[in-house]
Amino acid sequence: MKNLMENDIEKILFDNAQINKKIKELARQIEKDYRDKDLVTVCVLNGASVFYSNLILEINIPLEMNFIRVSSYGHGTLSSGNIRTLYDLETNINGKDVLIIEDIVDSGHTLLTLKNLFLGRGANTVKCCSLLDKPSRREVEIEPDYSGFTIPDEFIVGYGLDFAGKYRNLKYIGVLKPEIYK
């Protein structure tokens, strides 16, 4: 069946093969760096879920899976800088090496908030692996420690990323046609 979301996509930035290759590279780095650590991964719902599932299957060292859900965007395309926790971790991260898995670091508010939250709870280290990075949009000083692709200031969807809750189930990452969100 023809993909009914395709008409709304202006161009494909990264296809499924490119994403899979990148995930393998990121997994190799993470394995190397966390070999002797007590790795606790935290998936930031909902956007990171697709990336997270595929990434952890490539990481060949012991790890714990955890989920957190925060709100930042609502139905617009601009970050509020006002982050609320909608669903919290169910595990004690005191003394653990926490790796936050994100879909994208945009303004940086979400990542900074989560990092401070986890450090405040006594995590030994807190790092971030993000599939995408939009550095030109940063409003606070923070960088992902592991980053898949750096992209310009374009609104993208697919592979877990949404616009108004849709397009998460695209196999690739694409730029949404501006007329869809304007």
Residues with a catalytic annotation lie at 106
Query: Among all chains, which residue has been given the structure tokens 């606790």?
Result: 40
Select the residue interacting with ligand IMP from 107, 118, 148, 174 (CB under 6 A): 107
Buried b (16+ CB within 10 A) or exposed e, 39-52: bbbbbbbebbbbbb
Residue closer to ligand IMP (CB basis): 119 or 175: 175
Q: Which helix (H) or strand (E) holds 163?
A: none
If binding is defined by CB under 6 A, does position 102 make contact with ligand IMP?
yes
Distance CA(141)–CA(26), nearest Å, equals 23
Q: Which two tokens mark 171? A: 């196999």
Partner whose footprint covers residue 181, from ligand IMP, Mg ion, none (CB < 5 to 8 Å by kind): none
Interface residues for Mg ion in 29-88 (CB under 5 A)? 47
Select the residue interacting with ligand IMP from 49, 61, 69, 155 (CB under 6 A): 155
Partner whose footprint covers residue 144, from Mg ion, ligand IMP, none (CB < 5 to 8 Å by kind): none
Q: Which two tokens mark 50? A: 């697709």
If binding is defined by CB under 6 A, does position 161 make contact with ligand IMP?
yes
Peptide bond before residue 46 is cis, with ω within 30 degrees of 0: yes
Distance CA(75)–CA(155), nearest Å, equals 13
Residue closer to ligand IMP (CB basis): 8 or 38: 8
Q: Which positions lie near ligand IMP, rule CB under 6 A? A: 47, 72-73, 79, 102-111, 155-157, 161
Q: Which positions lie near Mg ion, rule CB under 5 A? A: 47
